[in-house]
Structure formats: C-alpha cells, structure tokens
Amino acid sequence: MRLVVNKIVLALSILSAVVGLSFLGWILVTLVVKGMTAMSASLFIHDLVDNGLRNLIVGQFVLAGLASLVGIPLGMVAGIYLREYGNGSRYAEFIRDLSDIMMSAPSIVIGAFVYAVAVKPFDGPSGFAGAFALAIMMIPIVINTTDSMLSLVPKELREAGIALGASKYKVIFDIVIRAAKVGIMTGILLSFARIIGETAPLLFTSETSNYFTLDLTSSFSSMTVSIYNLANEPEESARDLAWAASLVLTALVLIINLTGRYLTRNKHK
Amino acid sequence: MLEKLFQKISLGSASFVFVLLIGIFTTLFLAAKPAIEEYGLGFLSDPRWNTEVPIAQPQSDADANAAAQTATSTDVAIQADDAEDMGEDEDLMGDDEDLLGDDEEGSESATKTVYGGLVPIVGTILSTLIAMIFAVPIAMGIAVFLSEIAPKNISTPVGIAIELLAAIPSIIFGMWGLFYFAPIIAETFGGYQVSLLTAGLVLGVMILPFMAAITRDSMNTTPDILKESAYALGATKFEVIKDVIFPYSKVGIIGSIILSLGRALGETMAVAFLIGAVYQLPEKITDPTISIPVAMAVNFGEAAGLGESALFYLGLILFVFSFALISFAKFYFLKRNKG
C-alpha cells in the first residue's frame, strides 16, 4: 500500500512537472515560430513607420542604458555601504529589508509615481522619465546582488588589507571589489536583462514613438510599449511585427542572462 | 579625506532607497488625495466606475463633449452650467472651473461622475487567486521533481531552463495567452475569450517558473543527513518528501508562495491583454472584468481630474497591500534565518 501511494504521488509530481514544462515549451515554440516567420533583415534597418524595428531596439537600449548609468553606480555604492560600512547595524538591516521589498514592488505603481513627478509637471512623456522609472526598478536589484556578492568575500582578505595599513576605502576598492568582480558583473547583467523587458513602468512615462529619435525630452521609442500597442491592433501585419519584436526582445534577455551565468560558472571552476 | 567622502556617499546612496520609498508613498498619497477626500473608504466597496459618463473622454475636448452629453439628459438652459460641473471630473483645471460654476449659480442638476474601486480590487484578488490555485500544485510538483526525483543530469539543465523562463518578459506571456491560449479556454469552458479565467491562468503560467525555482531552492536546504536517516528507516520517497522535506522547508515554501503572490498581484502586462478591461463585477468565472494594474495601464492616458486621482488611489491600495504582503513574507524568512 505504501509503495502504491508512493508510486502514485511520484507519478503525479512528474506529471505536473511535465504539464508545467510543456506550457512553457508551448510559449517558447509559439514565440520562435511566429517570430521567425515575421523576421527579416529589413526589420533591422527600418523604423516602425516603415514596418521595421530599428528605432525600437535602439530606443529600448538607450532607455535601459540610461537607467543603468544611474542605477548601477547608485545601487553598487549603496550595496557597499550595507556590507562594508553599516554591516550588522540596525539601519543597514532596515535598508536591506526595504530594498528587498522594493524589488517586488508592482512596476505599474513605479510608473504612476514617475508619471506624477516627472511627466505631469513637465510637458508630457519623455525618454528621461522612462529611464528614471527603469532606474528605480533597477536600484534595488543592484543593491541586492552587490550586497550578496560582497558577503561571499572572505573576512580574512579584508583583515589582511587592514593589517597592511590600507584605509577602509582602499580595502574596499582594491581588495573586496576585485574579489567580487565577477559576481557583481553577473548581477549587473541580470538586472539589465530584467529592466530591458519591462513594459508597465514605460507605458505612460516614455510612451513610444514610431520614428527614430534620440531626443530624450519627448516621447521615446520603446520596444516593449510598441509590442503592446501592435498586439492590440487588428491587422495581421501589426501582430506579426509584434511577434518579431518579442522574439528579438526575448533573445536579448536570454543572451544577457546566459552571458551572466557563463561568467560565474567559469569562476567556480 | 576621500575615505570620509566615500563613506558619506555610500551612506547617502543607501538612504536613497528609504527616501525613494517615502517619496513614492507620499506622491501616490498626494495624487490620490482628491479621490480619498471625495470617496473615503467607501471607495473600496463602490462598484461604480466612471458612471453617468457613458463614453470615456479624453481631457482635451472634455468640455465640449460634456456639454453635448448633458444636452441629451438635462435641460438645454442649464447646459453651460453642467458643462462646468462635468469639467470638475474631466478637466485638468477642473477645480478652478468648478468654483466658477458654483459661484455663478448653485449647481442644481449636478451630474457627477463617480469612481469606485470595488471592481478592480475584486478583479485583482480573483485573478490572483485563480493563478495561485493553478500554479501552486504544479510549481510544487516541479520543485519536488527537480530536487528529489530527477537525476542530476536532468535536474540541472531543467532547473536552468526554468530560471531562464522566469526571466522572459511578461508581455510575451500576455501575447501568447491572447492569441493561442484564450481561444482554447473559451472553447473548453464557454464564455468570452477575454475573461477572469484566462487572465488568471496565464498569470499562473507566468509565475510558475519563478515559484518553482524559489520553492526548489528552499527544498534544497533540507540537510541530506535527515533524508538519509529517513530512507534508512525504510521510508519511501513520498514519505521522505511528506514527513522530512515539507516540514523542514515549510516556512521557506510558504515564503516563496507569498513572494510569487506579490508578483502576481502587481503584474500588468500578462493580464492586460486577457482580462477584458471592463468595469463590471464578474458573475461567472468566464466573464471579463478588470484588475488594478490593468485599470492603471488602460485608463491612465485618458484620465484627468478625479478619474486620475482615483487611479492613483487604486495604485496606492495596491502598493500598500503588496508592501504589507512582502514584508510579511520577508519577516517569515528572517525569523527562520535567525532561529
């Protein structure tokens, strides 16, 4: 009897794993098939007005890149504070918890916040507002990874540096950061991958544009927002374009993710 | 010198998180204030949204449209007046115009637009609930499969694949749901293609990889020695899972579920295509409705005045609720780590 129950439960577990994985496989297959049929080289040299994706890809990178420019240094320095200066203190614990909670804050609410402070008081949606929203999404993620990567650096390394007479600042930059370099790089790549696929914070902050633009003070091309708009359109051609854009986006996210993983893997060997 | 400076900068950056959080909360609160003052807590139980204005209007020509509308329902003589009153809800500069209107002539037949939050709140809760009912058992199955059943050369690649799937942008799930999954669901269960059910299920599929990955991680914390002792006593695999792994990692598993729940609550894009975006309480599970994030995504662009404020009110509710939920989950984890 026990053995029968065991068999049944294990079978159920395997079944549910198969069901779950086949759903996810279904999505991937759909994405690749639909994306590939709509894919062509001309997509990459035309803008959305001419049924291309060039401006969207560039726009999404500019938004995420700008967000990283603010989010990465800020998040890293804050992570350094949590682990190196404030470690163990109540304040650092408090900030660490807050940052963890912020990491799961609903992204649409971040978008609404940025709308209230950076869109409404100025003249409408802008690339800056979009990048600002993405930076807010990014900071807690960078803090979290920096913090946990620094925690892996052995205490003895720091003590050795201090024993040699180095200042704390020197120890952090010349020893701790170097030791945790690869891990931090991975963390940064993963957080970049995370924000480049965000739609909700951009919906009413950067909105999107059909034209190639580098002007950050007005509506800015965003791939994700355009995917949302295109998929809502009734024409088959718009949807095909949305699928192609989705495939490009997913491929980007997965490549960045895999690169990050590959880096840490080499480290362990 | 540099030493001190850097320490200050780092402290400042860390404090920035706190400032940001306070800033978000305050901004949402201030933006929501007109709606909070107008409706109070009754907002939470009011199922009406944008009633008495049957067609949603962009703010730019609100006055003209409002005038046209009131003409159909009220006396033409007080048409101008009403237009001013409508302005209160529809126009950015509503407050000024409203004052003017009131001063000129007491607004007797005020057609006021009412915004209530019940429908999006119920929609959010129900769609998340459906997602959880769907995702929890399957995620548990995957986690058990990965940590206990599968041999290492299967569990490692499958585990990595699951983690990668958790990184796929949620809008992809939404599109797949709209074009491929919804028609099948509608055929099987009847009703509309865009409905509470399809939205909930797609949401469930979306949080599945995340939930499975973090649940597996907490199951993996069970020390091997405990499992081996149980096997040595003659326990079957199921008994080891049920009597050793689950009790040991129970707290972590519950924490993972709550974290995923928080993620599902605030999810916009996977749901936006599928829930239907109509302000209407669902009678059946296959009826379309709306959730808080979707209400914000769809209506923000055209909202102004009280309508926009009501959306901020909804956002504030979502923010506070998910904040509380996630803090609760974190607290659970922390207690465990210290104990």
Largest CA distance in chain B: 91
Give the per-residue pLDDT at B315: 94
Length of chain A: 269
Residue B95 confidence (pLDDT) above 50: no
Q: Report the residue of chain A nearest B274, measured CA to CA.
A: A232
- Residue contact A113–B23, C-beta within 8 A: yes
- The confidence score (pLDDT) of residue B334 equals 56
Q: Which of B10, B241, B322 sits opposite A81 (nearest CB)?
A: B10
| Distance (Å, whole) CA B81 – CA B87 | 10
Kindly tell me if the per-residue pLDDT of A167 is higher than 90. Answer: no
Split at pLDDT 50, 70, 90, the class of A74 is very high
Residue B288 has pLDDT above 60, yes or no: yes
Nearest CA to CA, how far is A108 from chain B (Å)? 6
Tally the C-alpha atoms within 13 A of residue B53's C-alpha that lie toward its C-beta: 28
| Structure token digits, residue A223 | 């791939």
Q: Are A224 and A197 a contacting pair, CB within 8 Å?
A: yes
* Nearest chain B Cα distance for residue A212, angstroms: 23
What is the residue-wise DSSP string for B170-227? HHHHHHHIIIIIHHHHHHHH-S-SSSHHHHHHHHHHHHHHHHHHHHHHHHTTS-HHHH
Q: What is the CA radius of gyration of chain A?
A: 22
b/e per residue A141-179 (b: at least 16 CB within 10 A): bbbbbbbbbbeebeeeebeebeeeebebbebbeebbbeb
Tell whether A47 lies on the interface with B, counting CB pairs under 8 A: no
Residue B290 has pLDDT above 60, yes or no: yes
Chain A residues within 8 A of B23 when measuring between CB atoms? 113, 117
Output the pLDDT for position B109.
Answer: 53
Q: What mean pLDDT, rounded, does chain B reach?
A: 80
Phi and psi at A52, nearest 5°, equal -125, 180
- Rounded CA separation A42/A237 (Å): 15
pLDDT of B110: 58
The dihedral built from the CA positions of residue B253, B256, B262 and B267, taken in this order, carries a sign that is negative
Find the CB nearest A107 among B21, B175, B268: B268
| B110 or B151, higher pLDDT | B151
Q: Give residue-wise pLDDT tens across range A18-68.
A: 998 899 899 999 999 999 998 888 888 888 888 889 999 999 999 999 999
- Token duo for residue A22: 């086949």
pLDDT score of A121: 87
Q: Dihedrals φ, ψ of A104, to 5°? A: -105, 10
pLDDT above 80 (res B86) = no
pLDDT computed for residue B186 by the predictor: 85
Above pLDDT 90, what percent of chain A?
A: 50
| Cα separation, B330 vs B339, whole angstroms | 14
On whether any CB of chain B is under 8 Å from the CB of A14, the answer is yes
Any idea what DSSP says for residue B276? B
- Region B304-330: mean pLDDT is 90
CA distance A114 to chain B (A): 9
Q: Which helix (H) or strand (E) holds A245?
A: helix A236-268
Contact of A246 with chain B, judged by CB distance below 8 Å, is answered with: yes
Half-sphere CA count of B210, side-chain side, radius 13 A: 23
- CB-based contact A249 B259, cutoff 8 Å: no
Higher pLDDT, A202 or B83: A202
Q: Where are the domains of chain B?
A: 60-112, 118-338
d(CA B325, CA B17): 19
> Given this model, what pLDDT does residue B97 score?
41
Say yes or no: A139 contacts chain B, CB-CB below 8 A. yes
Among the partner residues B11, B165, B236, nearest to A2 by beta-carbon distance: B236
B chain contacts of residue A78, beta-carbon cutoff 8 Å: 10, 13-14, 16-17
Distance CA A141, CA A118 (A): 22
Mean pLDDT of B251-275: 89
Fold of B118-338: MetI-like fold (1.10.3720)
A:B CB pairs within 8 Å: 244
**Residue B116 confidence (pLDDT):** 86
Task: Give B-chain residues touching A20 at CB under 8 angstroms.
Answer: 138-139, 141-142, 208, 212
CB contact under 8 A, A101 and B28: no
Q: At A110, which amino acid appears?
A: I
Residue A202 has pLDDT above 90, yes or no: yes
pLDDT at A197: 92
Put simply, the answer to whether A224 touches B175 (Cβ < 8 Å) is no
Which pLDDT score is estimated for B52? 66
| Partner B, chain A 21-40, Cβ-Cβ below 8 Å | 21, 23-24, 26-28, 30-31
Q: What is the percent of chain B with per-residue pLDDT over 90, rounded to a whole number?
A: 38
Which residues are CB-contacts of A268 (< 8 A; sequence separation ≥ 6)? none
Lowest mean pLDDT among A118-122, B107-111, B124-128: B107-111
Residues of B in contact with A255 (CB under 8 A): none
Q: Do B296 and A253 touch (CB under 8 A)?
A: no
pLDDT tens-digit profile of A126-161? 999 999 999 999 999 999 999 989 998 898 988 898
Question: Which pairs with CB-CB distance under 8 Å and at least 24 residues apart come from B148-154?
Answer: B148/B219, B148/B237, B148/B240, B148/B241, B148/B245, B149/A10, B149/A13, B149/A14, B149/B237
